[in-house]
């Protein structure tokens, strides 16, 4: 191409120049013939001769230095893949082929919700084919190209998933080394998948690290440019560049020439516009710290104020690929805005109420926020890591008597005073398996069972064989944390819906949608018809129904565990819930104990059935296994489950502090 550009600027009246132009025309003709020939070589139908499977090549999805990526369809099953195709001519040298083989070996062993799934690889005389998970919404780079910039809620949504996938990689002692928007792929359901492991490598000790400078120039960290090698902190630096780029539409160190870009990177010199929120500026600054030792760990990123003090959507609409979302019109906001209108009347009355509270409670807000300090608990040794998670305990308050309509309204406004939730709330009159039905007794009973299990359980590689038959116990299939205004809502496996309000009272709407259970103190339960309840507790019933409607319309069930129930057993009532950076814990009046882990969506449910304790585990593929605890003690379980049980126990013990 450089020759052609030169020739194009030569005088046209020279014989030599005419000869050169003729040669250039021949070169162009040969180049065109080469491309046509190459296109013909890549057949429309590709056969894996080892398996006999045939694939139909579809549209081009993208291309890189060595490979092109096409849509591939299995002609028998119709399943669609993203096929990475590398011509043998591009990897003819031994070190080039070794690089591809290393990528295949590394990617094949990765299994995580936020990692592009590796399905299969094969080759023929012309090409190497790698079949990967198909992500129909392409990549974050394509989305940003259409959108220019993203909103902070979207950035939180994507970053949570990126951190989840990256944390898994780092736990496998793998560094990605090329984090950028083009390597974050988006599925049909707007879920993010981390892909392209061409530059990924195993983590090495500092003294043994390769000094290779590799990656995308705008995202390289100072230590790599200074030939000190890649570490986990290098991926965190790239993550800071990614966050900056999503929010501002350009990388932080982008300049007109590469030399200047590298100078800015080495000095960690970049601008943070005032248009960014203070929490976004703080998080970016921490990730783009010049010294690797000063950058946050992945767990600390998710516990930063940018995440804890900002709204993160559960799901993004597909329209976000091309236009900015309007979160004010999201289903949850619509439901709860209507609920607030039903509770507080017109705008003027509501504004006057909030203004009064704000003026009279300013000092109390500050005091309560100071009291709600994060408590750190160590991850058990079974995890082989030194990470810690922050757990935010709920404020414990005495439970009030049955509330009047005015008291209900006042209690809902407890958010203005900084309250997050209540530890003591409702309970059914039956507390089978719990000594005296008190909060302390429930916690102690469950803690004792978990402690005995962890201390006496045998070592094993897997979970014991599934327990036969259906289960009749109840468990939480959906939940909504709206404690910054009203309370914590959940749906049980029998489709009853409960809300633990911020004032400590509890209300349940039974599966018949006509009966309401109301509890104002531990051990008591008032059964009302929906009409009676609405008349007596209009505000809380309104909130309860909006929670129920929202979960039914917008959330999917949390697993495939049997939903059979024993109608003779009383419904569960939530006593207390607790959230950490890693999991949600829920404790119920009969000792049922459930922990949901966010990033891989695994769940642990401990309950009683008759005289036996049952443990159910729902894995990342939403497949459940239920065993008697006695069998678990005898046969043991995998380290994966044991680590989660340790974590669940540590969360439970926070209630005793």
The yes-or-no verdict on residue 593 having pLDDT over 50 is: yes
Q: Report the relative pairing of strands 375-378 and 118-123 from DSSP bridges.
A: unpaired
The single residue of 124, 178, 235, 590 carrying the catalytic annotation is 178
In angstroms, rounded to a whole number, what is the distance separating the alpha carbons of residues 552 and 296?
38
Which pLDDT score is estimated for 461? 66
Mean pLDDT of 614-625: 86
Point out the least confidently predicted range of 68-82, 226-240, 287-301, 368-382.
368-382
Q: pTM of this prediction?
A: 0.50
Specify the pLDDT at position 438.
67
Average pLDDT of span 420-444: 47
Torsional class of 55: left (φ above 0), alpha (ψ -120 to 50), beta (otherwise): beta
Measured at the alpha carbon of residue 543, what is the angle toward residues 511 and 418, in degrees to the nearest 5? 130
H or E stretch including 86?
strand 80-87
% of residues, the chain, pLDDT over 70? 70
Return all residues near 186 (Cβ < 8 A) that are at least 6 apart.
135, 136, 137, 138, 139, 140, 143, 192, 193, 321
Strand 593-597 and strand 603-609: pairing? antiparallel
**What does 170-208 look like in DSSP terms, one character per residue?**
HHTTEE-----GGGEEE-TTS-EEE---SS-EE---GGG
Phi, psi at 651, each rounded to 5°: -65, -45
Candidates 138, 131, 136, 135; CA nearest to 74 is 131
Given a cut of 70, whether residue 553 has pLDDT beyond it is yes
Segment 481-502, tens digit of pLDDT:
888 778 899 999 888 999 999 8
Q: What is the pLDDT of residue 210?
A: 66
Give the pLDDT band (50/70/90) at residue 155: very high
Residue 393 pLDDT > 90, yes or no?
no
Helix, strand and coil content of the chain, in percent to the nearest 5, comes to: 40, 20, 40
With beta carbons less than 8 A apart as the criterion, state whether 650 and 380 touch: yes
pLDDT at 440 over 70: yes
Catalytic-residue membership of 481: no
Per-residue pLDDT tens digits for 190-227: 999 999 998 888 887 766 556 666 667 888 999 988 88
- Residue 112: pLDDT over 80: yes
Residue 380 CA, chain-centre distance (Å), reads 22
Identify the residue whose tokens are 């159910």: 616
Task: Please say whether the beta carbons of 649 and 449 come within 8 A.
Answer: no
- Confidence class for position 657, pLDDT limits 50, 70, 90: low
| Among the ranges given (1-15, 22-36, 46-60, 561-575), the one the predictor scored with the smallest mean pLDDT | 1-15
Burial class (CB in 10 A: 0-12, 13-18, 19+), 282: middle
Q: From CA 99, how far away is CA 105, in angstroms rounded?
A: 10
The answer to whether 425 and 600 are in contact (CB under 8 A) is no
Report the pLDDT value the prediction gives residue 346, as an integer from 0 to 100. 45
- Whether 24 has a pLDDT exceeding 60, the answer reads no
Q: Are the C-beta atoms of 573 and 474 separated by less than 8 Å?
A: no
Provide mean pLDDT across the span 45-71: 90
Q: Which of 242, 34, 15, 226 is nearest to 150 (CA)?
A: 242
651 pLDDT band, cuts 50/70/90, is confident
Backbone angles phi and psi of 54, in degrees to 5: -115, 140
**Residue pair 629/614 in contact by the 8 Å Cβ criterion:** yes
Classify each residue of 173-200 as buried b or exposed e, where b means 16 or more C-beta atoms within 10 Å of its C-beta. Answer: ebbbbbbbbbbbbbeeebbbbbbbbbbb
CB atoms within 10 A of CB 260: 12
User: Which pLDDT score, from 0 to 100, does residue 60 have?
Assistant: 92
562, pLDDT greater than 90: no
d(CA 570, CA 448): 24
Q: How confident is the model over 603-607, as a mean pLDDT?
A: 93
Local confidence band at 514 (pLDDT 50, 70, 90 cut-offs): confident
8-16 average pLDDT score: 39
Spatial contact of 414 and 361, defined as CB atoms under 8 Å apart: no
Q: What is the pLDDT of residue 551?
A: 82
pLDDT of residue 18: 42
Q: What's the pLDDT at 473?
A: 80
Residue ranges and CATH numbers for the domains of the chain are: 2-41 (no CATH), 45-133 (3.30.200.20), 142-321 (1.10.510.10), 350-380+394-656 (3.30.1120.30)
84 is in an annotated binding site: yes
Which of the two residues, 346 and 619, has the higher pLDDT score?
Answer: 619
pLDDT score for 636: 82
Measured CA to CA, the distance from residue 518 to residue 500 in angstroms comes to 10
What is the average pLDDT across 541-569?
68
Is residue 411 pLDDT above 50, yes or no? no
pLDDT at 26: 53
The separation between CA 74 and the C-alpha centre of its own chain, rounded to angstroms, equals 30
The pLDDT assigned to 641 comes to 87
pLDDT surpassing 90 at residue 540 = no
CA distance 33 to 133: 33
Instruction: Report the pLDDT value the prediction gives residue 215, as an integer from 0 to 100.
Output: 67
Cα–Cα distance list, 176 to 46, 161, 193, 634 (Å): 30, 15, 13, 40
Beta strands in 140-180 (DSSP E): 174-175
- pLDDT at residue 201, rounded to an integer: 87
8 Å CB contact between 286 and 236: no
Q: Is the pLDDT of residue 243 over 90?
A: yes
Specify the 3-state DSSP secondary structure of 505: coil
Residue showing tokens 């009246």: 13
Mean pLDDT of the chain: 75
> Residue 589's pLDDT is what?
86
Rounded mean pLDDT, 122-151: 94
> 625: helix, coil or strand?
strand
Judged against a pLDDT cut of 60, whether residue 369 lies above it is answered with: no
How do residues 266-277 score in pLDDT, each as one tens digit? 999 999 998 899
Residues 432-446, mean pLDDT to the nearest whole number: 66
pLDDT confidence tier of residue 279, bands split at 50, 70 and 90 = very high
Q: For the ranges 40-49, 340-349, 632-641, which has the lowest average pLDDT? A: 340-349
pLDDT at 521: 67
* pLDDT reported for residue 10: 38
CA-based torsion, 259, 275, 286, 378: positive or negative: negative
Q: What is the pLDDT of residue 207?
A: 60
Structure token pair of residue 132 = 């990967």
For the chain, report the end-to-end CA distance as a whole number of angstroms: 72
Given pLDDT bands bounded at 50, 70 and 90, which one contains residue 458?
A: confident
Q: Which pair of structure tokens corresponds to residue 93? A: 């040298």
């Amino acid at each position: 191409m450089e020759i052609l550009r030169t020739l194009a600027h030569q005088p046209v009246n020279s014989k030599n120049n005419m000869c050169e132009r003729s040669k250039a025309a021949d070169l162009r003709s040969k180049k065109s013939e080469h491309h046509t020939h190459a296109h013909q070589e890549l057949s429309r139908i590709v056969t894996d001769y080892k398996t006999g499977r045939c694939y139909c090549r579809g549209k081009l999805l993208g291309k890189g230095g060595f490979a092109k990526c096409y849509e591939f369809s299995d002609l028998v099953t119709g399943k669609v893949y993203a096929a990475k195709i590398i011509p043998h001519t591009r990897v003819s040298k031994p070190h080039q082929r070794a690089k591809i083989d290393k990528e295949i070996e590394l990617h094949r062993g990765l299994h995580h919700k936020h990692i592009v799934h590796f399905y299969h690889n094969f080759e023929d005389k012309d090409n190497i084919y790698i079949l990967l998970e198909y992500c129909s919404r392409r990549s974050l780079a394509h989305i940003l190209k259409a959108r220019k910039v993203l909103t902070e809620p979207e950035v939180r949504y994507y970053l949570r998933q990126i951190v989840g996938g990256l944390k898994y990689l780092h736990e496998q002692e793998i560094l990605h080394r090329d984090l950028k928007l083009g390597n974050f792929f988006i599925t049909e359901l707007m879920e993010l998948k981390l892909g392209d492991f061409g530059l990924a490598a195993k983590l090495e000790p500092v003294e043994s690290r390769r000094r290779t400078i590799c990656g995308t120039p705008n995202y390289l960290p100072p230590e790599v440019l200074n030939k000190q090698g890649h570490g986990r902190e290098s991926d965190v630096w790239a993550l800071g560049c990614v966050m900056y780029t999503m929010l501002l539409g350009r990388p932080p160190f982008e300049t007109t020439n590469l030399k200047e870009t590298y100078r800015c990177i080495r000095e960690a010199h970049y601008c943070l516009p005032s248009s960014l929120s203070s929490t976004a500026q703080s998080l970016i600054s921490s990730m783009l710290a010049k010294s690797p030792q000063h950058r946050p760990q992945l767990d600390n990123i998710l516990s930063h104020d940018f995440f804890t003090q900002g709204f993160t959507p559960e799901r993004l609409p597909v329209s976000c690929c091309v236009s900015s979302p309007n979160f004010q019109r999201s289903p949850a906001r619509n439901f709860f805005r209507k609920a607030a209108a039903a509770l507080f009347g017109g705008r003027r009355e509501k504004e006057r109420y909030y203004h009064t509270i704000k003026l009279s409670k300013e000092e109390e807000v500050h005091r309560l926020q100071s009291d709600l300090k994060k408590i750190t608990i160590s991850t058990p040794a079974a995890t082989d890591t030194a990470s810690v998670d922050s757990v935010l305990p709920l404020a414990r308050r005495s439970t009030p008597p049955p509330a009047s309509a005015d008291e209900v309204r006042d209690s809902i406004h407890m958010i203005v005073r900084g309250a997050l939730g209540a530890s003591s709330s409702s309970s059914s009159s039956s507390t089978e398996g719990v000594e005296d039905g008190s909060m302390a007794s429930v916690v102690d009973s469950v803690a004792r069972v978990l402690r005995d299990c962890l201390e006496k359980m045998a070592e094993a590689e897997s979970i014991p064989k599934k327990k036969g038959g259906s289960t009749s116990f109840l468990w939480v299939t959906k939940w909504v944390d709206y404690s910054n205004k009203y309370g914590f809502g959940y749906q049980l496996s029998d489709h009853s819906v409960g809300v633990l309000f911020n004032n400590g009272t509890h209300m349940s709407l039974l599966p018949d949608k006509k009966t309401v259970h109301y509890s104002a103190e531990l051990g008591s339960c008032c059964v009302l018809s929906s009409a009676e309840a609405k008349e007596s507790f209009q505000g809380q019933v309104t909130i309860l129904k909006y929670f129920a409607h929202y979960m039914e319309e917008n959330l999917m069930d949390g697993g495939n565990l049997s939903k059979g129930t024993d109608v003779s057993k009383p419904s569960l009532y939530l006593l207390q819930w607790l959230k950490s950076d890693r999991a949600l814990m829920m404790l119920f009046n009969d000792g049922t104990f459930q922990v949901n882990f966010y990033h891989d969506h695994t769940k642990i449910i401990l309950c009683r059935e008759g005289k036996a304790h049952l443990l159910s585990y729902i894995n990342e593929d939403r497949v459940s296994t239920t065993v008697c605890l006695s069998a678990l003690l005898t046969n043991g379980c995998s380290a994966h489950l044991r680590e989660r049980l340790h974590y669940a126990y540590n969360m439970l013990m926070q209630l005793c502090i």
